[in-house]
């Protein structure tokens, strides 16, 4: 698909994005810089693909009133640390799809501030931690205003000697009446030495809200394995199918066919 490159603004301190179409498809190649400050103007609908995020990168997003930012990225190679800070203003929304197939250690900290009324933040993560990877994703959604909606949806697979941690706080602050927040963290542990931790935290300082979380960490249960193998799948095929089931749903967030294919082959490759 066609995306408009916004790299030409690379020299400025702050990128101000506005698009002619609704939505406007944009792409940013991040490989030559490590700090980005991006503002979405009012009344915009921006769909932004971040390419080649390198080691130790930091993003600041500011989504102005009545705007929508749909952000997506595939993490590959060495990433080490990734910081995403975002602020969403009145009636704005922000959706993030992060497919993580990076190698080595990653420490990702995401903080989305729903600073004004009627704002939405939705975070979707699929992460595969393998070999000696040590990965942590700390995703916090801060509800600072009325009628805000937050979803933090995290799926992961930990195999070999790897470690994978999902943490973060969904915080409904005083005054954020009628807000809803939801946290999901599910990690499939494959091997005896793989480690996984899910630490969902809800902080609630207001009434008339809805908040929920679900977390599960575990091995494939014997009954599921028996069921799948009793249909003729080998244990390896059954494991692969289950991994696909954990990680593939992230694909719905990506429009570009070549990126979808890349994600599928990364899942298969790292399995």
Partner 1 sequence: MSKLVIKDLYASVEGKQILKGINLEINDNEIVALLGPNGHGKSTLLNVIMGHPRYVVDSGSIYLDGKNILEMATDERARAGLFLAMQSPSEVPGVSNSDFLRSAVNARLEKPVSTYKFYKALDSATKQLKMPFDLATRSLNEGFSGGEKKRNEMLQLILLEPKIAMLDEIDSGLDVDAINIVSEVINSEKEKGRGFLIISHYARLYDLINPTRAVVMINGRIVIDSDPSVIKRIDKEGYEFIKTELGIEIAKEEPNMNQTSIGSCDVKVKTE
1: contact with partner 1 by CB under 8 A: no
What is the closest distance, in whole angstroms, from the C-beta atom of residue 218 to partner 1 in the complex? 10
What is the closest distance, in whole angstroms, from the C-beta atom of residue 153 to partner 1 in the complex? 6
Closer residue to partner 1, CB minimum distance, 65 or 151: 151
Of the candidate spans 74-82, 89-97, 106-114, 151-159, the one that interacts with partner 1 by CB under 8 A turns out to be: 151-159
8: contact with partner 1 by CB under 8 A: no
Q: What is the arrangement of strands in the sheet containing 210-218, beginning at the earlier edge strand?
A: 4-5, 24-29, 45-51, 68-75, 93-100, 120-129, 149-158, 180-189, 210-218
249: contact with partner 1 by CB under 8 A: yes
Find the angle CA(248)-CA(226)-CA(219) to the nearest 5 degrees.
55
Give the integer Cα–Cα distance in Å for 223 and 261: 32
Where do we find the tokens 């091997």? 191
Give the integer Cα–Cα distance in Å for 141 and 194: 28
Closer residue to partner 1, CB minimum distance, 32 or 230: 230
CB neighbours of residue 61 within 10 Å: 22
Encoded one letter per residue, x for contact with partner 1 by CB under 8 A and - for no contact, window 154-193 reads -x--------------------------x-x-x-------
What is the closest distance, in whole angstroms, from the C-beta atom of residue 15 to partner 1 in the complex? 30
């Amino acid at each position: 698909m066609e995306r408009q490159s916004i790299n030409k603004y690379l020299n400025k301190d702050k990128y101000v994005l506005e698009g002619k179409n609704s939505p406007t498809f944009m792409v940013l190649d991040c490989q030559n810089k490590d700090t980005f400050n991006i503002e979405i103007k009012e009344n915009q609908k921006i769909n932004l693909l971040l390419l080649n995020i390198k080691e130790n990168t930091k993003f600041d997003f500011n989504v102005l009133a009545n705007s929508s930012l749909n952000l997506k990225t595939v993490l590959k190679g060495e990433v080490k640390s990734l910081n995403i800070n975002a602020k969403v203003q009145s009636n704005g929304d922000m959706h993030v799809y992060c497919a993580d197939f990076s190698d080595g250690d990653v420490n990702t900290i995401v903080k989305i501030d729903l600073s004004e009324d009627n704002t939405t933040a939705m975070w979707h993560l699929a992460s595969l931690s393998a070999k000696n990877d040590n990965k942590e994703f700390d995703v916090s959604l801060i509800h600072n205003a009325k009628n805000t909606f937050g979803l933090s949806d995290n799926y992961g697979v930990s195999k070999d000697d790897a470690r994978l941690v999902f943490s973060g706080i969904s915080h409904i602050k005083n005054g954020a009446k009628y807000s809803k927040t939801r946290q999901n963290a599910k990690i499939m542990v494959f091997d005896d030495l793989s480690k996984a931790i899910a630490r969902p935290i809800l902080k609630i300082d207001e009434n008339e809200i809805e908040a929920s979380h679900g977390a599960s960490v575990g091995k494939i249960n014997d009954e599921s394995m028996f069921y799948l193998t009793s249909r003729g799948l080998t244990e390896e095929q059954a494991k692969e199918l289950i991994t696909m089931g954990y990680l593939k749903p992230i694909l719905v967030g990506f429009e570009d066919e070549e990126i979808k294919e890349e994600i599928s082959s990364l899942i298969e490759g790292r399995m």
